[in-house]
A and B are shown apart, each in its own frame.
Chain A
Amino acid sequence: MSTQQQEPETQEPETQEAPEDPEMKGAESPQQRRLDEKQERMVDERSESEAEAEGETVHIKVFRYDPEVEGKQEPRFDDFYVPFEKGMTVLDAVMYARDEFDSSLTFRHSCRQAVCGSDAFFVNGRQQLGCKTQISELEQPVRIEPLPHQEVVKDLVVDMDHFYDQMHAVEPYFQQEDLPEGELEEQRQSRENRENVKMSTRCIWCGACMSSCNVAAGDNQYLGPAAINKAYRFAMDEREDEEIKEHRLRLLEQEHGVWRCQTQFSCTEVCPKDIPLTEHIQELKREAVKKNLKFW
């Protein structure tokens, strides 16, 4: 196990210079004086806040594993001490650790704003998006692990193939064939109906729900909350005809579909987009019952 603590290297002189003020109006003007004063004040404040922050570090323990690198084939935790900054997220902390201490530290990330769904980790025992989780709200040391119940590829990267397979299994695309034919003619949808499906359309495919689900852990074929929610998004959209909805409900009623859900609400609790997943699954169970009653 390696324990690393390093001071960040000082910056290049060029980049440390304050950029010139292009709006400069001449050194004598009152405005320039005001700006100069401000500049000095800012420098003072900056050094104060730096002094305050000095020594304040965050201790993170990060799961490490690499199938082909000696010393990492046995999973372990590495400790990193990252200088704390206000607003720092778990993602910021692992990025800092990677860029400053160990460039082999591996995790997915992209948008940094909770929309690409790449960086769901298991942080202090809970599925969360790294970019959306403030370090200051967590107990230290912060344990950062890959999502449970998925195969680990390397460090915090898990194999998402099974998750994608389940998402694809519910025919996740609009199937209405009978479309308005006039020029620029759109399908009508009521505001209420759009509102009903709105939350379900927010899914970012991060996989946190699936990872938190006990049923999915025990039944590899269970569609899981994200895929069922994807199906809900279409089944409840009034723009698709009734028979398509029935087809969708048949897909969901199968052995590893909605009836597997044991309403433990774990998916709903971890969803970073606050999608009421469990409710959606329950609603689809009700819809399935209604459909079956109709055919009796």
Chain B
Amino acid sequence: MYEHDVIVVGAGGAGLRAAIAANEAGADTAIVSKLHPVRSHTGAAEGGINAALREGDDWELHAYDTMKGSDYLGDAPAVETLAQDAPDETIQLEHWGMPFSREDDGRVSQRPFGGLSFPRTTYAGAETGHHLLHVMYEQVVKRGIQVYDEWYVMNLATSDEADPNDRECHGVVAYDVQSGNIEGFKANNGVVLATGGPGQAFDHTTNAVSCTGDGHAMAYRAGAPLEDMEFIQFHPTSLPSTGVLISEGVRGEGGILYNNDGERFMFEYGYANNDGELASRDVVARAELTEVNEGRGVDDEYVHLDMRHLGEERIIDRLENILHLAEDFEGVDGLVEPMPVKPGQHYAMGGIDVDENGQTCINGLYAAGECACVSVHGGNRLGGNALPELIVFGKRAGRHAAGETLGEPEIETGYGDDVEDETDADLPVQPGATGLETSGDVAADGGVTASVDSLERAVERERERVERLMEKDSGIQHAEIRSRLQNAMTDYVNVFRTEEGIKKALRIIRDCREQYQDVYVDDPSRTFNTDLQQTYETRNLIDVAETIALGALVRNEFRGAHWRQENQVRDDENWLKHTLISWDGGEPNIFYRPVILEGEEKTYEPKVRSY
């Protein structure tokens, strides 16, 4: 058994920032990650970091833009914290040596991004995430923070009180990928989940193969609700064949979208008469698919993004990485021809229900970054707002987990008096656990609260689970289930959603879950058994996909990135509230919590969202 004060799970931007903060607060901190830190998917972020650094800009404008972009589903205390803390945290990165792009006077450059009223996206070429990730890893090395890399966290060790709000997290169980050993990691103060997005629940995604929603699923099964999971961002400019991301920076610098008839459709068809290509991502993604659906797509599949008019010098200076991506992954030279692009799953606005300090309803369990929902992004995330979220809320979670006082949070978590139950959801199948898998994540057989006991039991459970999976020598393999799940989500829970489609998806997800009862691991080896690891990940993807589809089914309105055919308007009267889904021992419960629109000094009145 290993023991530290703070255990951070995941080593992307949020995890590294949390670890640095916990270390600075004096806690013995360790990072446990299935990837070596520099392999994390934060490295693929291209665009930049929104921060009100310059004269003419201020945090209130940033907060306003973020709230509007969220379609009034962001919680004001979270949105304002992001906007207030982003400038200092961005400058902190500069002080750690981050190679930002520079102006003639030597100051860091900023550029316009979709949905922003001021060009406040601070960037390092079109590879901002790569630099942010490496700079923070450098700081982790400098501080000598212990990193257990290529250790896959399989589950959390929590106490098992009936009410999740009374539970406590004592640590994690992890699997050393290289040796196959399964060990407990005791966390004296807290566990911070920073496991990134669940993009692999979809077939066409900009996300890495590793983005499997592990943290989401573990927290969910331990009793922390997942919030606003239906809000999935589809990025308007991913390469059609691979899903590789083409940064919004291209449009920020002046790139133009054309349909097959050579029309600048964002204006010609009135999708965004003011901002055109720089409207919010959800608006542009829907516009592109509408063009394709109405027969004006190129090859009936995609549209063109043209940046040739920007000139070679400017492209090389600010967007060089885009040229490489278009060339390597689509065989297109962005200097001489337009690039084909279409919407691809990109980001999950929802996630583990946390407060401004990153804490879940389970004592000692934190989440930060894409896996968390605090909620900053509400119904739709603005480009350039993910990276500041990592550093602002990663730091807060790390500090709080280490025992620092950050003040009483205004945001509530978990099931409580302030929530409203969903009473008439018309579910096509029963979601949640199948009869066979109840052998519990939080066992209901009484009274284990001593932390060492609960950790040892959790380790034992995972060892048994692995034995079962390895000993079984026939059945179905995870790859088949995963691919079926991904296709169902991309076919039926995509940009345009219908009740009937979502129900189809839920039936397929149920089927996948039942198939999973018969899953086996073919690779008999204890050494680097990725077959076993992916089998675990697939189970997580099933849980996460189900919450996405459930949320999409009950929210019958059109808000932000979530569009429903049956009710194509934003329904503020009924839906100014977050969707929460809790696992409840295998019988998921759906409930709602009102959105907080009251900020420090003003209330954000929902307005018509036009760009």
Contacts and interface: CB of A to CB of B under 8 A. Distances in A.
Interface of A: 9, 11-12, 14-15, 17, 19-23, 31, 34-35, 38, 42, 66-69, 86-87, 98-100, 102-104, 106-118, 132, 153-155, 157, 160, 164, 168, 172-174, 176, 179, 184-191, 194, 197-198, 201-202, 204-205, 234, 237, 239-240
A257 B35 CA distance: 29
Contacts of B84: none
Nearest to A15: B487
Interface stretch (B94-102, B433-441, B583-591): B94-102
A106 B521 CA distance: 13
Contact of B107 (A23, A108, A186): A186
A193 B209 CA distance: 36
Contacts of A109: 209
Which residue, A179, A186, A191, has most C-beta atoms of chain B within 10 A?
A186
Given A104-B523, A111-B41, A118-B39, 4 more contacts: A14-B504, A23-B294, A115-B130, A173-B97
B484 A201 contact: no
Contacts of A185: 91
Contact of B208 (A104, A106, A116): A116
Contacts of B210: 110
B328 A114 contact: yes
A116 B91 contact: no
A209 to B, nearest CB: 15
26 contacts: A23-B293, A86-B241, A87-B241, A87-B331, A106-B528, A109-B209, A110-B41, A112-B208, A112-B243, A115-B130, A116-B44, A153-B178, A157-B528, A164-B36, A168-B141, A173-B142, A184-B91, A186-B94, A190-B106, A191-B102, A194-B99, A194-B101, A197-B99, A198-B125, A201-B131, A205-B38
Interface in B341-383: none
A60 to B, nearest CB: 18
Nearest to A92: B242
B295 A35 contact: yes
Nearest to A164: B36
B99 A19 contact: no
Nearest to A65: B527
Interface string B63-90: 0000000000000000000000001100
Given A187-B94, A189-B102, A42 B43 contact: no
Q: Interface size bucket, B side?
A: 35 or more
B281 interface: no
Interface in B479-509: 479-480, 483-484, 487-488, 491-492, 494, 496-498, 500-501, 504, 507-508
Contact of A117 (B38, B325, B487, B494): B38
Nearest to A155: B528
A113 B53 contact: no
Nearest to A203: B134
Contacts of A31: 294-295
A23 B523 contact: no
Contacts of B497: 22
B77 to A, nearest CB: 23
The prevalent SS among residues of A at the interface is: loop
A164 B530 CA distance: 22
Nearest to A186: B94
A160 B36 contact: yes
Contacts of A198: 99, 125
Given A23-B496, A110-B41, A69 B95 contact: no
Contact of B138 (A108, A173, A239): A173
B531 interface: yes
A20 B130 contact: no
A144 to B, nearest CB: 16
Interface string B306-346: 00000000000000000011001111000000000000000
A116 B141 contact: no
B130 A204 contact: yes
Contact of A186 (B91, B208, B521): B91
B127 A202 contact: yes
Interface string B131-153: 10011001101100000000000
B97 A237 contact: yes
Contacts of A179: 95
Contacts of A15: 484, 487-488, 491, 508
Contacts of B523: 103-104, 106
A186 B108 contact: yes
Contacts of B100: 189, 194
A66 B527 contact: yes
Contacts of B594: none
A204 B531 CA distance: 26
Contact of A38 (B142, B300, B487, B501): B300
B104 interface: yes
Nearest to B97: A174
B125 A239 contact: no
Given A22-B498, A187-B95, A115 B127 contact: yes
Contacts of B243: 112
A173 B141 contact: yes
A206 to B, nearest CB: 10
B44 A111 contact: yes
A103 B44 contact: no
B208 A110 contact: yes
A164 B328 CA distance: 27
Contacts of A104: 522-525, 529, 531
Contacts of A12: 484, 508
B474 interface: no
B97 A103 contact: no
B526 interface: yes
